[in-house]
Amino acid sequence: MRDILDVSSSEDDENHRTPEHLARQESASHQAYIFGYSSLMVNLKQMHPTPSQVFILWEVFKDNVDPVVRILHRPTATKILMNASSNVDGLSKPAEALLFAIYFASVISLDDQQCMELLKDSRHALVNRFRFAAEQALARAGFLSSSSLMVLQAFVFFLICVRHQDDSRLVGSLTGLAIHLAQALGIHRDGTNFHLNAFDTEMRRRLWWHVSILDNRSAEDYGVEPTFTEHFYDTKLPLNINDDDISPGMKDPPVERKGCSEMTFCLIRFELSVVSRRLNFTSSGSGPCPVEERTLEDKEKIIDDCHKNLEEKYLQYCDMNVP
């Protein structure tokens, strides 16, 4: 319904708009005020890497980032990158925001020597370039009011990357915004509640649980409790599967793998985030779902149960010779 009622800006052709028209539109939407109005003076086409660099950054992303931050479906993302490498002009605004977030994440995972060898530029310059481009692409995609799951994916990737630059206070503030945007898209509710197909349900789950981890980490940075309890959401854990097990448009849910899969590492992180939330959220409050203060024995039992659960579901299948 939002897609029908909202005026989409992705269909606008920026090449045929004057700077004054663009400035009026950005001022009216208020998307750029968080990241600054520099996007009105910079052509983002100039910020895109060359086709050869696109494939280098994508390989880096698959090796360094995707195994530990599983938000995307790699076959689907590969198609977006293939299109971008041959036709930047044909990119939608959500896709452009996601691509710059991927480039930003890839560079963050490299050291300076690797950046010089692979991309012929310093890490400092590349990080600044792709962070700025990601910020402005998010603003242009209207991330504050967008109903696109891809835009929220880009925003979450951006926050994860910025946190690795030790800018935790900024991330803490913007994580609250990410939670509200996720809630507005309904991804705190499991897709099965809305009879969504298996692929969309899985993508929503992956995204929500990374938002949840961001909330936990921000709470640790600030020395406060997490923003929400388990009563806030009913989104299930993602399935223990590989990306090849799902595809857009599939009707029946895939069979979950027993043992290790591409999702196993992230699933362990998600399970631990649940335990962290149970241990750290101690305020009793007076609302409809108060959280009782847990005793030391209760907390020890939560930790023991978590250890047994992880051992039975994942760790017993791990091969210590395979990183």
Average pLDDT over residues 16-27: 45
Q: What is the pLDDT of residue 138?
A: 92
Q: Find tokens 């631990």 and name the residue.
A: 272
Cα 237 from Cα 202, distance rounded (Å) = 9
End-to-end CA distance of the chain: 45
Cα 174 from Cα 178, distance rounded (Å) = 6
Residue 2 makes CB contacts below 8 A (sequence gap 6+) with: 147
Average pLDDT over residues 27-48: 65
Q: Is the pLDDT of residue 283 over 70?
A: no
Cα 106 from Cα 63, distance rounded (Å) = 9
For 80, half-sphere exposure in the C-beta direction (CA atoms, 13 angstrom radius) is 19
Q: Is the pLDDT of residue 17 over 50?
A: no
Angle at CA of residue 157, ends 210 and 178, nearest 5°: 65
Least confident of 36-45, 66-75, 267-276, 302-311: 36-45
Average pLDDT over residues 62-67: 95
**209-236 pLDDT, tens per residue?**
999 999 998 888 888 888 888 889 999 9
Q: What sign does the CA torsion over 173, 265, 153, 148 have? A: negative
The domain ranges of the chain are 22-165, 182-323
Q: Let me know: does 235 contact 190? Beta carbons within 8 Å.
A: yes
Angle at CA of residue 193, ends 189 and 196, nearest 5°: 100
Q: Which two tokens stand for residue 126?
A: 């590349």
Average pLDDT over residues 110-117: 94
Band the pLDDT of 118: cuts 50, 70, 90.
Answer: very high
Q: Is the pLDDT of residue 273 over 70?
A: yes
Q: Is the pLDDT of residue 20 over 50?
A: no
Q: What is the pLDDT of residue 39?
A: 52
Q: Is the pLDDT of residue 258 over 90?
A: no
Average pLDDT over residues 184-210: 95
Average pLDDT over residues 180-191: 94
In the chain, the largest separation of any two C-alpha atoms, in whole Å, equals 66
**120-155 pLDDT, tens per residue?**
999 999 999 999 999 999 988 889 889 999 999 999
| Position with higher pLDDT, 119 vs 10 | 119
| Position with higher pLDDT, 13 vs 238 | 238
Band the pLDDT of 26: cuts 50, 70, 90.
Answer: very low
Cα 212 from Cα 280, distance rounded (Å) = 14
Cα 117 from Cα 316, distance rounded (Å) = 39
Residue 155 makes CB contacts below 8 A (sequence gap 6+) with: 97, 101, 138, 143, 178, 181
Average pLDDT, the chain: 84
Q: Let me know: does 111 contact 123? Beta carbons within 8 Å.
A: yes
- What is the value of pTM for the model shown? 0.85
Q: What sign does the CA torsion over 142, 144, 147, 153 have? A: positive
Q: What is the pLDDT of residue 14?
A: 45
